[in-house]
Structure 1
Amino acid sequence: MPSIVGPIKINSVGGGVINFGDAFYLAPKSSSKTNAGSGALNTGDFINTNNGFSSTNPFDPDVNDQNVAGNA
């Protein structure tokens, strides 16, 4: 089916999948993990973030979160 795509703003693409319109199947070919505090990864034109104390615990007891297998 046809799709209508509205206004789009892409600042940068560092890998990944960008799809406009119809798609039958999209699958990631890589995975990663990022640890950041509150308000650290906000993006946009006008951001006002008021955080008191922010603490991030990067400890992860399970080693594998998202395995990429098959069709690599």
Structure 2
Amino acid sequence: MPGFVGAIQVVNISSSGVLNVGDVFLIQPISSSKTFAGAGSFNTGETVSITNHQSNTNTFDFDTIDQGNYLNL
């Protein structure tokens, strides 16, 4: 059912965000990312003890092209 929307103000929409005003059948935001992190990078908690003597994160991507997110309907 159509509706009337008054004035809106959009301040910010993130890269994978969606703004919908009115009727919609399907909203499907798609995004992709690649993250490199060393040992112990994503640890959370109150008491975390990490011992990394010689940590090395290899960020060389030898296949050049990753899987895209096109055709993800």
Greater Rg, structure 1 or structure 2? 2
